[in-house]
Structure 1
Amino acid sequence: PDINIIINKSTFRQVIESQSSKFESDLQLENLHQGIKLYLSNDLSFYTYLNKIISQNNNEWTDVIIDSFIQYQEHPDPLFRIKLLETISPVLSDHFFVNQLKSNYRYLKNNLNNEKFNFDVTRLSNEQYLLIIDLLKTMHINIENADSIDMNFIQDILSIICEYGKIHPTKFISVRAELIWWQLSNSPTQIRSAAQKEYYNLINGFRQWIGPNTSLTIDRETKEEYT
């Protein structure tokens, strides 16, 4: 008698999907392993492996990153602390990020006072930006008790929000208002001078954006940016 074999295509599809999922998990685990190993070996290239995981937008793996690196966040080298914070900032809670930003900055200046503070503002979320603004307001309230590190921190943060406003045109008005406010505020001269410098930096950056840059567009109704 003839034998009829019925092939269920979904079975093969499930097997392929399962194999693909396992391959992806193994790949992410390898990236995590390499990232941790390089970080603990004082190799700044560690961040490239973490970026590979974070770019996948997989909540399960981003949670693993946070759980893994939270125990290593107090690296003896302040530059590694800042680079780690910058790298994983897209997956951190907003309040934790801002607290760590201020803490890591102080650690940097206490240990490498002449080292310039660098931070990639493209990693910042809108919520983190707003909390940075709130932090600036709080620091101004206590400006009379601010030490030299606090003063430097305010100036560097004004630079950060300026750069953020340059790459996010929807925040231009907000950033401009903040910088104008600091220029007119009852703050030390160096703070007001820094605010003025960043104000002109913002204006020039915005002019460049409305000129040759056509890759970014703003929806008139939703105010969202898209390319």
Structure 2
Amino acid sequence: VKHNIIGRTVNFAHENNLSLVSIFPKQIIKSWGEFATVPIINYILLTLLPLIFVRKIALPSIAAANGQYMFFDAKKYMRLLPYKAMKAEKVEDIKIARYYKQNKLKIACLANEKDIRCRMYGSYNKSLNGFSKNVTTYFGGVTLIAMLFWMVTTLGFIPILLVYGTKWLAVYIVAVLLIRILVSITSNQIANKNIVYLMAQQISLGVIILKSIENRLKKEHIWKGRNVL
């Protein structure tokens, strides 16, 4: 945390009458396993939900947050005690964001912020375990939608090629790469790395979704020493 980000968050919250401000930090990514997994969540979030909607639309379903940085209005926090209310939830950050909206409080979620840095996971296996805990939450808790998202973003080139040929396949590939670049820029990530690891990220997303399904069937997901299912 640097450059008075706390003070700027206070000003932003005050100017926009916000009870909660959450920020996606610039992720510190070191290993190949992290490059193959950590950027996935920002890709999902920023392609499915423009973050400006979180602040502008009051619907609880239009909510996002990142537990790495959540700034609360103290009075509202003490009234709602969100972490106590959500202590049984496995994805408490997003649940808290929805909880605030359900209580008619304004929130905001931001992504393009360089003054907060955080390393989310230190290895591929830790990333798989962590993301499989909450991946379906980004799709409204519906596993089928998560699977459809993976199929479209991974295998979407096949129907394009079969129906429209190589010309439109080239257009499709350019569009896919452009989206990755824009998401990388918005997230303060290295765009060329995300291009290189594009297929690895898609494969990892498939593995994460399958692991989420497996854990749900077993009714067991060990997180920080306890079963959260």
Structure having greater relative contact order (Cα 8 Å, sep ≥ 6): 2
The TM-score with structure 2 as length reference comes to 0.24
Bigger proportion of residues as strand: 2
Bigger proportion of residues as helix: 1
The TM-score with structure 1 as length reference comes to 0.24
Structure number with greater Rg is 1
